[in-house]
């Protein structure tokens, strides 16, 4: 994602409040003539994102302290974004990357090409996808093929 769009996403002054959901805010960013990005900020999601990151960092610290070869942790995608390799092959948690990651807490984006949908409508349609996914899970679960005709 380019820096201009990234700065628009992180600039919370462009967000407007959603009446139905206290604390939740929404903004819309045009990506091109055909596509737009709808971003919501939710304080509950921000708390969960923060908790998940702190849990991952605690787990990472524990693994770093016990690991005979901390370099092996660099290949783990979940951890490597928070690691920094210093001189003498010493590995530390990168506090700058942690702070940058925290800026994204609570944000959720949807890209759409539907011009006729309002930002709220697109958000609501996205949240209804669980019904489709559940239907597929049920269908896959109930599908049985017998060897006997």
Answer for the pair 59, 66: CB distance below 8 angstroms, yes or no.
no
**Span 48-84, pLDDT tens digits:** 999 999 998 888 888 777 766 655 655 555 656 666 6
In order of 24, 49, 107, 109, the CA distances from 39 in angstroms are 11, 16, 7, 4
**Span 102-117, pLDDT tens digits:** 999 999 999 999 888 8
- pTM comes to 0.73
Q: What integer best gives the mean pLDDT of the chain?
A: 81
């Amino acid at each position: 994602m380019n820096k201009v769009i990234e700065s628009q996403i992180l600039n919370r002054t462009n967000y407007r409040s959603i009446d139905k959901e206290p604390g939740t805010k929404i903004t819309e960013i045009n990506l091109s003539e055909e596509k737009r990005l709808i971003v919501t900020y939710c304080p509950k999601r921000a708390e969960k994102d923060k908790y998940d990151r702190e849990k991952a960092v605690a787990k990472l610290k524990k693994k770093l302290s016990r690991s005979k070869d901390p370099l092996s942790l660099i290949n783990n995608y979940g951890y490597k974004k928070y690691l920094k390799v210093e001189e003498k092959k010493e590995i530390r948690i990168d506090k700058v990357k942690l702070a940058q990651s925290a800026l994204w807490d609570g944000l959720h984006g949807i890209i759409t090409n539907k011009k006729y949908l309002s930002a709220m409508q697109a958000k609501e349609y996205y949240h209804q996808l669980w019904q489709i996914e559940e239907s597929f899970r049920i269908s896959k679960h109930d599908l049985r093929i017998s060897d006997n005709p």
